[in-house]
Structure formats: structure tokens, C-alpha cells
């Protein structure tokens, strides 16, 4: 194991923390096709904020290297693929990044080497979609010349408590012996321990159901929120009471976006349909969760009308555009659904998010965010204030704001996350 030389392909939210961790024990090289990203990392700056500058610089000082040059990873013998697995506009799995990464591996893999995939996929994708690409490009034969493993990522972006080494890791290999080797490598750096699954397909399935289960549970409480709002019952008070039972599952209503929970169920659904099974519950959960942005916007408009606030032409302030709190990741954010739906009503929406990079928001969604929180001191709605303020993302900075000044100036306050003082808000999920 001392001769293990690791190459991590894809240096995003998953790959960089993993590569940095492995570099504490093994010669490790991080490979990415984005030169700007690589340059930034080699200067000690991670714009995903997953690895601190201190840890990154310490790793670089001890030999950790990030590169876009393929030749530099040819000497490695343990390749780990950590690229995104998105869906297309029709919610069908898009394996393009995975296929391209497999082509990259195929160009450098040698006899006796191992390639491990961490990207979330449907059961079978590693051996049916990825390995044939590696075989074709390399000219090597699977499980004869080279071997494979699957160890699903469990990174939680923005979470500084459950970091990669503190989350138990599922591992697997293409043969029992390779499974043990893969498990040994991961177990040497993962302090929380590992679980060796019997096959690659079992490990793939375990990962995809983790997020599908969470998606379905959130869909359930989102539906409860819609029902209880009609009944004028505080959903969060109901959940607080229900949580007093020891086995009640603690989920809250909200927007379900990001690159995992809002995407992974479609991978499982796609594979199920290939086997002639139409997954009812999984897709129903997805439909309900995908409807929540439109629902929030309609609730805000109803409250504005009840408040006597004009809708068309009125300004609304939306706090947050990232997919979750205290994280700069805007991929597949569902806050954007609130924005678009409000625009359909003729409302002018200002978006403020201190965590999101304005240039990235513009590039991804065509929205120009405001860069400073617009405090209200002496003017009311009639003098250009906001008709509503929506807390869409629970960034720590937003918890310090005094939204009462907006409310006192005539604005509706709507709390998507259900974390503000009940006296402050006019409505919440």
C-alpha cells in the first residue's frame, strides 16, 4: 500500500477534499480540465470553500499537486473519478462528464492499476457505461489487465463538522481481492471507518437510495405544509410536537435542489424504467419537490394582495440564491424557481446573496445580483421600498438581519426555511 500513487480526476466539491486528505498519506495528484481552477488551488485558494487555505497550502508544501497535464498522472496506479453526474433538461441522466473522465483514465491506466468511481450513478453504470470506455481507449482488458472499484461520495457541501474523513465510506471492488485493496486504501485515511459492499452494483445502489430516501421524506413534509397552510395550522409547530416521539423522522419542508438530492432520484428512476418498472413514489416525490418554488411565489403574491400591495411592478427582495445555506454552490438551486415565478407576475426581484459569486450567477442564470443588503431607514413601500422580502436560503448572515424594519415599512415577510421569529413573518412553509 506504500506504493499506492493516487490521481483524483475532478477537483470540485468532492474531489478536492478527498485529494487533500489522501495527500496526507500518499503521493497524490489532483487532475482537472479547468486551468483557472487549478491555478487558484495551487495558489492556496479554494472558491468552493470546502478546503481552507491553511490545509491546502500545507498539502502543497508537502508535495500535493493540482494539474491539467495528463502526463503528470501517468505514474499513478490508483485513479479516483469524482466528476459531476447531472441530468439534462428532460431530467435524463447525463453521463457526458463521466464518459470523458473515463476516456482520460483510459489514456493513462496501466496493467495492474485500479480505477475507482465516486460519482453518483444508477446501479450498473460503472461496469456497463464507464469500464467499456476505459477498455476501448486503453486497449486493456477489465479484471485481467486493470481493475475497478466504486466508493460513493458523501460530501455535504458547506458542512464543516461532517468532513470527508468523518463520514463512513462505502467501498467495493470488481473482484473480492480488489475490494479488499480499495477498502484498505480508503480505511487508511477515513477515521470514521469503511463498509465493504459485496459488489460494485450494491455500492452504487446504496448511494442512489440515500438521496432518494431523503427526497421522498422531504416531499412528504412539503405536502404536509401545503395541507396545513390551507387549514391555517403552523406546520413547524406540528413537526415540533411530532418530534417528541422517539422514532419520528426529523425532516422539514423546503426547497430541494443541489447536485445530489434534486438529481439522484432521476438516475434510479431511469434505470428502473429500463427494466420495465415505472417508479411511482420516487417520481411523485420529485414532482412535488420541484413544484415548491412556484408554490412559494404564489403564496407570497396572495399575501401581497391581502395586504393591499400592488403586484405588478412592485419590488421584492429575495435573500439567497445558493442551493443551501452557508455554501457558495448555485448548481440546480430551486430558489431560482421562486425568482422566475415572481417575474411571471410582473414583479421586479432583487436577489442578495453574500455567498454566491455574482459573475457565476450571471453566467448560470442571467441574473444580476445586488452586492449589498438594502437596509431601510426612513422610507416606506410607497416611496420605493419592497413589497415583500423572502428568506429563501438560511445563510448565517441573514439570521442577524432585522427584517422588522421592512415589515414596518409595509413589506410582506415570507420565511421559506421556517427559522425566523413567528412574530416577524407574514407567512412560511
Count of other CB atoms within 10 angstroms of residue 53: 11
pLDDT value for 374: 84
* Residue 421 CA, distance from chain mean position: 28
Residue-by-residue DSSP string for 147-215: EEEE------TT-SSS-GGGS-EEE-BSSHHHHHHHHHHHHTT-TT-EEE-SSHHHHHHHHHHHHHHHH
CA distance linking residue 398 with residue 350, whole number of Å: 15
Condensed to tens digits (0 to 9), the pLDDT of residues 169-189 reads: 999 999 999 999 999 999 999
Among 76, 130, 260, 327, the one annotated catalytic: 260
* Residue 377, pLDDT score: 60
Q: Is 260 a catalytic residue?
A: yes
b or e along 348-383 (b: 16 or more beta carbons within 10 Å of the residue's beta carbon)? ebbbbbbbbeeebbeebbebebeeeeeebeeeebee
Residue 141 DSSP code: -
**What's the pLDDT score for residue 338?**
98
One-character DSSP codes across 302-357: HHHHHTT---TT-EEEEE--SSSTT----TT-SHHHHHHHHHHTT-EEEEE-TTS-
- Residues 123-153 have pLDDT tens digits of 999 999 999 999 999 999 999 999 999 999 9
pLDDT value for 382: 61
| Rounded average pLDDT per 10-residue block, the chain, 429 residues | 88 96 97 97 94 95 96 98 93 95 98 97 97 98 98 88 94 98 98 98 96 95 97 95 96 90 92 96 96 97 94 94 94 96 96 96 96 73 81 94 88 93 90
Torsion of CA 290, 294, 296, 300, to 10 degrees: 180
pLDDT at 383: 66
Amino acid at each position: 500500500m506504500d506504493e499506492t500513487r493516487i490521481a483524483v480526476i475532478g477537483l470540485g466539491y468532492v474531489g478536492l477534499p478527498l485529494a487533500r486528505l489522501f495527500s496526507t498519506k500518499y503521493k497524490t495528484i489532483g487532475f482537472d480540465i479547468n486551468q483557472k481552477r487549478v491555478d487558484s488551488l495551487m495558489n492556496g485558494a479554494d472558491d468552493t470553500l470546502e478546503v481552507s487555505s491553511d490545509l491546502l497550502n500545507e498539502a502543497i508544501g508537502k508535495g500535493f499537486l493540482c494539474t491539467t497535464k495528463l502526463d503528470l498522472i501517468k505514474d499513478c496506479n490508483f485513479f479516483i473519478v469524482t466528476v459531476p453526474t447531472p441530468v439534462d433538461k428532460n431530467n435524463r441522466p447525463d453521463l457526458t462528464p463521466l464518459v470523458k473522465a473515463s476516456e482520460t483514465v483510459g489514456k493513462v491506466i496501466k496493467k495492474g492499476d485500479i480505477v475507482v468511481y465516486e460519482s453518483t450513478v444508477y446501479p450498473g453504470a460503472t461496469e456497463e457505461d464507464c469500464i467499456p470506455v476505459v477498455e476501448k481507449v486503453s486497449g486493456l482488458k477489465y479484471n485481467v489487465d486493470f481493475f475497478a472499484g466504486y466508493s460513493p461520495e458523501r460530501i455535504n457541501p458547506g458542512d464543516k463538522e461532517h468532513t470527508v474523513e468523518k463520514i463512513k465510506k462505502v467501498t467495493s471492488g470488481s473482484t473480492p481481492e480488489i475490494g479488499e485493496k480499495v477498502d484498505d486504501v480508503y480505511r487508511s485515511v477515513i477515521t470514521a471507518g469503511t463498509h465493504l459492499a459485496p459488489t460494485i452494483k450494491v455500492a452504487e445502489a446504496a448511494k442512489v437510495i440515500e438521496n432518494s430516501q431523503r427526497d421522498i421524506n422531504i416531499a412528504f413534509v412539503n405536502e404536509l405544509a401545503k395541507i396545513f397552510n390551507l387549514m391555517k395550522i403552523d406546520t413547524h409547530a406540528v413537526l415540533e410536537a411530532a418530534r417528541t416521539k422517539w422514532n419520528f423522522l426529523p425532516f422539514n419542508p423546503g426547497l430541494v435542489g443541489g447536485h445530489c438530492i434534486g438529481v439522484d432520484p432521476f438516475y434510479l428512476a431511469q434505470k428502473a424504467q429500463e427494466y420495465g418498472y415505472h417508479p411511482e413514489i420516487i417520481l411523485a416525490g420529485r414532482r412535488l419537490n420541484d413544484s415548491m418554488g412556484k408554490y412559494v411565489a404564489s403564496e407570497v403574491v396572495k399575501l401581497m394582495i391581502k395586504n393591499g400591495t400592488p403586484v405588478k411592478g412592485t419590488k421584492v427582495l429575495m435573500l439567497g440564491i445558493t442551493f443551501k445555506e452557508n455554501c457558495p454552490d448555485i448548481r440546480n438551486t430551486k430558489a431560482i424557481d421562486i425568482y422566475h415565478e415572481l417575474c411571471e407576475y410582473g414583479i421586479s426581484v432583487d436577489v442578495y446573496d453574500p455567498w454566491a459569486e455574482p459573475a457565476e450567477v450571471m453566467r448560470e442564470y442571467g441574473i444580476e445580483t445586488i452586492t449589498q443588503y438594502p437596509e431601510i431607514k426612513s422610507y416606506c413601500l410607497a416611496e420605493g421600498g419592497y413589497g415583500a422580502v423572502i428568506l429563501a436560503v438560511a445563510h448565517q448572515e441573514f439570521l442577524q438581519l432585522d427584517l422588522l424594519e421592512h415589515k414596518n415599512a409595509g413589506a410582506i415577510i415570507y420565511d421559506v426555511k421556517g427559522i425566523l421569529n413567528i412574530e416577524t413573518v407574514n407567512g412560511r412553509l
